[in-house]
Chain A
Amino acid sequence: MYALTPMDAPVVDVRALRKVYRVTERETGLAATFRSFVRRRYREVLAVDGITFHIDPGEVVGFLGPNGAGKTTTLKMLSGLLHPTSGEATVLGHVPWRREGDFLRGMTLLMGNRSQLVWDIPAADSFLVLKEIYAVPAAQYKRTLDELTELLDLGPLLHKLVRGLSLGERMKVEFAAGLLHSPGVAFLDEPTLGLDISMQGRIRRFVAEYNQRSGATILLTSHYMDDVVALCRRVIVIHHGVLLYDGALADLAERMAPYKRISVTLRGSVGDLSTFGEVVSSNENLATIHVPRAQAAERTARLVRELGDQLADISVEDPPIEEVIDKVFASERPLAETTA
């Protein structure tokens, strides 16, 4: 499909990518203004600090990190909006920030909080402009639009002014606009931001289905872990611009959370269980205990032995993904360093 990328080569290839923003300090007062003409003052913001990863064709990868971690900055570099301060990247075999035509025609960047459409006209008219800009052949355009209309239920929305659409409706239309040219790579930045639960689910199913039908490679950020759990087998976690984890979502808890969660149900009321581990919740006959990962088996055995007949049920699990992520992000320094 992409002449420049052999089938097995990564679609997104990022090496030691770094971005430092220079923010002009605003000074007040006349003298300061004059001084700033001569010598400008900058504050540097390190947004992305040398991250390396690659993504294979057709993968759907979740890009996680708290606010300010550098996710959006990375996606902007990968879509060619920003020049990095250092490091290299190729997407579809192109250096993104050279903004070559073949690259731009092969990818899309969708941002949940930004609109790409003209608000004063119906989406259908914007679509026709996009069709010409991307030089989509008429037959392919019709097929794609029909497909998107069906998947996203766009029918009634296309001929209304964009400014009259609700947030959820607009997001569906934005999705269609961003995918009309059938990009092989899609960068989705918070695509479900601010949408209600059912619309989130709708968008989520759409992304999954789009990936299956088109084989497009997708890198997605989201605040909602549900999005990630539903869509991504693989996640990349960054914090303070540094890559913390890159691997299977299923292994994230094992790698990132140093503890397991034991839930016990008792026949009577819960007594003092603090000798078994950190009791995070207990009420009536239910209790949840966090124990160090390595000692999970031994503690469980001890619980069974010492509680004996009192024990009605017991289970040992990884903590839920949200909790793991929150813990990781709560740590000020990269976890990789603190646990080493």
Chain B
Amino acid sequence: MIRIYRQLLVAQIQAAAQYRIQALLWMLFSIIRPVIFLAAWTAVSTAQGGSVGGYTTSDFAAYYIALTIVGHLTTAWNSFEFEFEVRQGRLSPKLLRPLHPLHYSVVENLIWKVTTFLPLMLVCLVIALTFQVRWSGEWWHLALFVPSIVLAAALSFMIGWVVATATFWLQRINTVNTLLQRTSFIFAGQIAPLSLMPAALQVISYSLPFAYILAIPAEILRGGVTLERGLLYLVGQAVWLGLSIVAFRFAWRAGLREYSAVGA
């Protein structure tokens, strides 16, 4: 498997090299939104004398920078790509080979993240300096963050694949994707850190998978959780990852029965 990944990596880096500009644009785009919310919360907290619900201006900045990094590391375009591939007839050649189509996108996903990570960190550094951020974490926050971000990225990836399988039934899945993004926007901690949300919304957020992809790893990275809570969050992430894998396997099998290999 490692040898397959290595060859895929070589091949796809070459192919991806032609789309460098698009990659950078996408990355910048994904940074803009957290910065807008950061600016808004900074304004609110300044107006209220420097803090809102226990979050200082610097805390907000730390949270949103963490969220930007996490958002970047958990990006997954699978569902969009998959729909496109099916329509272009590019799924069929992959199905003929003894390698699950999912593996190609693991490699693509990793390439995207690695190649854009450095510019992203530079941008984050600029933001951090602009908003005078102070990191308030302990060393074990970083130790927790590593498994947490891996689980979050895997969870995001698998949810992308579950949604992707909808293509087998719906041909077009923009509606599903939009719905998912809106839901994630509300419940993943993008509007505000979870603890500032109304109690009811918090309950919903912790019961849905989206916060386990964004808000939770971001809080851990920022240093905003206790060790016990942090460990509990990891368990939550693992459970959601397990569920998404089971859901994917089921949906994939059922979907292939519907597959009509149109245009291929």
Contact = CB atoms under 8 A, between A and B. Distances in A.
B14 A133 contact: no
B10 A132 contact: no
Contact of A82 (B3, B7, B15, B260): B260
A121 B8 contact: no
A128 interface: yes
B150 to A, nearest CB: 24
A76 interface: yes
Given A81-B92, A82-B259, A83-B257, A128 B10 contact: yes
A82 B14 contact: no
Interface centre among B14, B18, B97, B264 (most CB of A within 10 A): B97
A118 interface: yes
A319 B132 CA distance: 89
B30 to A, nearest CB: 24
Nearest to A129: B7
Contacts of A149: none
B49 interface: no
Nearest to B4: A132
Nearest to A177: B93
A128 B261 contact: no
A232 B182 CA distance: 58
Residues of A in contact with B, size category: 20 to 34
Interface string A108-148: 11010011101011000110111111100000000000000
A134 B11 contact: no
Given A82-B260, A129-B8, A131-B7, A99 B95 contact: yes
Interface of A, helix, strand, loop or mixed by DSSP: mixed
Contacts of A104: 96-98
Contacts of A125: 10-11, 14
B96 A133 contact: no
A125 B89 CA distance: 21
A169 to B, nearest CB: 19
A121 B92 contact: no
Contacts, number: 70
Contact of A105 (B4, B11, B98, B256): B98
Interface in A74-117: 76, 79-83, 97, 99, 101, 104-105, 108-109, 111, 114-116
Interface in B1-44: 3-4, 6-8, 10-11, 14-15, 18
B171 interface: yes
A118 B12 CA distance: 9
A114 B91 CA distance: 11
A24 interface: yes
A133 B256 contact: no
Interface in B250-264: 256-257, 259-261, 264
A137 B264 CA distance: 30
Given A76-B261, A79-B96, A81-B95, A120 B14 contact: yes
Contacts of B3: 132
B261 A116 contact: no
B17 to A, nearest CB: 9
Contacts of A99: 95, 256
Contacts of A118: 11, 15
A21 interface: yes
A120 B10 CA distance: 12
Residues of B in contact with A, size category: 20 to 34
B93 A133 contact: no
Interface centre among B15, B92, B98, B264 (most CB of A within 10 A): B98
Contacts of A105: 98
Contacts of B8: 129, 132
B94 to A, nearest CB: 9
Contacts of A134: 97-98
B96 A81 contact: yes
Contact of A114 (B4, B93, B257): B93
B7 A83 contact: no
Contact of A81 (B6, B7, B261): B261
Contacts of B92: 76, 81, 114
B264 A21 contact: no
A340 to B, nearest CB: 34
Nearest to B170: A24
Nearest to A120: B15
Nearest to B6: A132
Contacts of B97: 104, 130, 133-134
Contacts of B235: none
A101 B96 CA distance: 10
B11 A126 contact: yes
Contact of A80 (B14, B18, B93, B95): B95
Interface in B99-147: 99
21 contacts: A21-B260, A79-B96, A83-B257, A108-B96, A111-B264, A114-B89, A115-B93, A116-B93, A120-B14, A125-B11, A125-B14, A128-B7, A129-B8, A130-B97, A131-B7, A132-B3, A132-B4, A132-B6, A133-B97, A133-B99, A134-B97
Interface of A: 21-22, 24, 76, 79-83, 97, 99, 101, 104-105, 108-109, 111, 114-116, 118, 120-121, 125-126, 128-134
